[in-house]
Amino acid sequence: MRLRILGTAAGGGLPQWNCACPGCARARAAGPRAWRTQECLAVSVSPGAWYLVNASPDVRTQILAAPGLAPPDGTRHTPLRGVLLTDGELDHTTGLLALREGAALDLYAPPAVLAALDGPFPLRTLLAPYGSARWHALRSGPGEDALLLDGGRLRVTPVPVSDKRPRYAAGSDAPGPWAVAYRFDDVATGAAALYAPSLARWPDGLDAALAGVSCLILDGTFWSEDEMDRATGGRGSGARTMGHLPVDGPEGTLVRLRGRSGVRCFYTHLNNTNPLADPSSAERAVLAGTPVEVPSDGTEIEL
């Protein structure tokens, strides 16, 4: 199984176009090699067939930077077979507008997300005249079959992680889950990975879904619960309220990852305020001696 972490930033990327906070200023001064595009993953278990998880607004540059995602010489065929959405957030879905030309893609999302993309954000209506999208509702939970892709070799199991709606769908009464993680199993080799870019809490079922997984790519949006408040001088926008379990603290994700020997763990979806984005930060040094890494855009993992 090959995983390519196409983008590693939360919505807006790093630096954000309209921000000069310490994190954005550092990245801007360091130049494009220090920049992070918005969160997106590509996964493959056989040559020439890739699936995206989420489609960020940066998806065009992310695909162009990935040699494995280029069309073979002299063709208009793409190795991209489909896209799995973890949720309906704008920074995870608007890239689909950039993928409208040509390729016939299979698109998978939880039913609530499909409803939102038919309603308050009518992406499905917008894409319909281009004729390239086949939408599939992906149900999760006990009794639901896993999805088999790539001729049955790639097994995809959605794991419900939260009922947080995108802001544009705040009024929706569609039943959740509104956000899922995905477990990927290479049926041929037994390799397994789990991708959870949005995690408001450590949900029931997540530990069970991690059994046998050797690569875990997790929500690293915020280092601390009050990071946004300190960055903006605001009050009340705690990390968990915004749908993201912080890295640090007794309830954070790092304590759950520390002891996982033999599992490579990566933080993704880093917010511009997260000091982990700075390789020289004291917070980054805390990860030394743990199985957790902070990947750059374009990091490839082979399992």
Q: How far apart are CA 273 and CA 23, in angstroms?
A: 6
Q: Which helix (H) or strand (E) holds 40?
A: strand 40-46
Cα separation of the two ends of the chain: 5
DSSP reduced 3-state for 60: helix
Q: How many residues bind Zn ion (CB under 5 A)?
A: 4
24 is a contact residue toward Zn ion (CB under 5 A)? yes
Provide the minimum distance between the beta carbon of 8 and Zn ion in the complex, in angstroms, as a whole number: 15
34 is a contact residue toward Zn ion (CB under 5 A)? no
Provide the minimum distance between the beta carbon of 274 and Zn ion in the complex, in angstroms, as a whole number: 10
**Sequence-ordered alpha helix ranges (H) in the chain:** 22-30, 59-64, 90-93, 111-116, 123-127, 206-209, 227-232, 254-257, 282-286
Nearer to Zn ion by C-beta: 22 or 122? 22
Nearer to Zn ion by C-beta: 21 or 98? 21
27 is a contact residue toward Zn ion (CB under 5 A)? no
Residues within window 255-274 making contact with Zn ion, judged by CB under 5 A: 272
Q: How far apart are CA 114 and CA 118, in angstroms?
A: 6
Structure tokens at 156: 């995809």
19 is a contact residue toward Zn ion (CB under 5 A)? yes
Q: Are 197 and 246 in contact (CB under 8 A)?
A: no
Q: Which stretch binds Zn ion (CB under 5 A): 20-28, 160-168, 249-257, 275-283?
A: 20-28
221 is a contact residue toward Zn ion (CB under 5 A)? no
Nearer to Zn ion by C-beta: 96 or 294? 294
Nearer to Zn ion by C-beta: 24 or 213? 24
Interface residue list for Zn ion (CB under 5 A): 19, 21, 24, 272
